[in-house]
């Protein structure tokens, strides 16, 4: 679990988010905020912040237990395809931004045109690869 935290930190996420990933991939859940805070020895505020991030990435999903008012979280059913689908959306968004920037400045800054075109090609290739991976992961469901 700690090594997952360190790996996540090296990738730009928080160490706690990585540790939470490790916990959920080992045990699945569901866990309440209190259980997560206790198991990871972190504050409930840190749990809240990181659960929200992992939920937004569709790695975790919120569940409930009958008769219990607490929120619980568990590993999403297909976290990898969801994670890649989110990555794909971000690549599409970035490609659109770069192409719009190129359209807006290519006359004023002709030297930027080539760099922006290269960046747009990068995002297009990343998008294509991510789409292929999403489709492959969808067949594994």
With vertex at residue 9, the alpha carbon angle to CA 85 and CA 97, rounded to the nearest 5 degrees, is 45
- What are residue 7's phi and psi, to 5 degrees? -65, -40
Written as six digits, the tokens of 47 are: 């749990």
State if pTM tops 0.75.
Answer: no
Give the per-residue pLDDT at 106: 83
Per-residue pLDDT of the chain (141 residues; tens, 9 = 90+): 999 999 999 988 899 999 999 999 999 889 999 999 999 999 999 999 999 999 988 889 999 988 888 899 999 988 888 788 888 888 999 999 999 999 999 888 888 999 999 999 999 999 999 889 888 888 877
């Amino acid at each position: 679990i700690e090594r997952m935290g360190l790996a996540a930190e090296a990738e730009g996420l928080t160490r706690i988010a990585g540790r939470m990933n490790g916990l959920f991939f080992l045990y699945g859940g569901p866990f309440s905020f209190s259980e997560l805070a206790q198991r990871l020895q972190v504050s409930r505020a840190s749990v809240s912040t990181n659960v929200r991030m992992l939920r937004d990435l569709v790695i975790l999903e919120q569940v409930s237990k009958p008769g219990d008012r607490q929120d619980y979280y568990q590993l999403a059913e297909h976290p990898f395809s969801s994670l890649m689908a989110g990555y794909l959306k971000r690549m599409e968004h970035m490609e659109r931004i770069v192409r719009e920037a190129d359209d807006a400045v290519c006359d004023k800054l002709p030297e930027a045109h080539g760099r922006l075109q290269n960046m747009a090609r990068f995002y297009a290739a990343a998008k294509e690869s991510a789409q292929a991976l999403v489709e492959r992961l969808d067949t594994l469901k």
